[in-house]
Amino acid sequence: MKVVVRDYQSDDWLPVEQMVLNAENFGTAFLEHEKRKVAAFTSFPQLGKVIVAKDPGNGRVLGYAALQFEWKALVITSIISHHNYLRHGIGRKLVDRIKAIGEMHPDTDVIRVDTGDFMDYAHRFYLSCGFTKVGYVQHYLSWHNHQVIFAYQLKRRETE
Ligand SMILES: CC(C)(COP(=O)(O)OP(=O)(O)OC[C@H]1O[C@@H](n2cnc3c(N)ncnc32)[C@H](O)[C@@H]1OP(=O)(O)O)[C@@H](O)C(=O)NCCC(=O)NCCS
């Protein structure tokens, strides 16, 4: 499937909102939080970045990711593909762009993401995008929520 990935613009919010509402393991409970993140990262680009995947033919938004710049790490705080277009390569295209952003950012060594221990599809997705499982944390987002941590090493050198 042909998609282009570009920086988020303010008129992308409505389709992004729909994707948050319709995505497995997201939904209404996440909406206000996502909205605040998008507002913060677009207002303060040194804190983070929001990207969208679009169909170049009709301009439809088919994917969304929010990224936070931490010390030496680029953290994927959300990544969602449109629920009608799963397994069409949109998530991988978003991750390819995230890797490029990380490579360009001089102080960033690693991309990190955490996901629920029960979200087998997400584990398979990150592994297929070249991430390694690096940790497991109990009681992480809330009590009884357990998260698996994945990481991708940036700026690999020939000698390593
Ligand atoms: C996780 C998510 C972003 C993946 O997006 P996607 O566009 O469907 O992923 P892609 O089509 O690029 O998949 C790339 C590869 O990841 C793996 N993969 C993706 N989804 C998978 C699934 N449900 N089961 C097994 N493997 C999967 C496959 O290896 C796939 O390659 P293939 O289709 O050629 O076999 C998507 O499932 C999603 O939006 N889920 C709801 C929101 C969510 O849970 N986000 C992650 C929060 S941590």
Per-residue pLDDT of 33-45, as tens digits, reads: 999 999 999 999 9
Helices assigned H by DSSP within 69-156 = 90-104, 120-128
Q: Give the residue extent of every domain in the chain.
A: 4-153
Give CATH superfamily name and number for 4-153: Gcn5-related N-acetyltransferase (GNAT) (3.40.630.30)
Mean pLDDT for the chain overall: 96
Q: Is residue 90 within 8 Å of 82, Cβ to Cβ? A: yes
Tell which one of 20, 67, 75, 86 to mutate to probe ligand 1, the residue whose CB is within 8 A of the most ligand atoms.
86
Using CB distances shorter than 6 Å, the residues near ligand 1 are 23-26, 79-81, 86-92, 115, 119, 121-122, 124-125, 128
For residue 156, what pLDDT is reported? 81
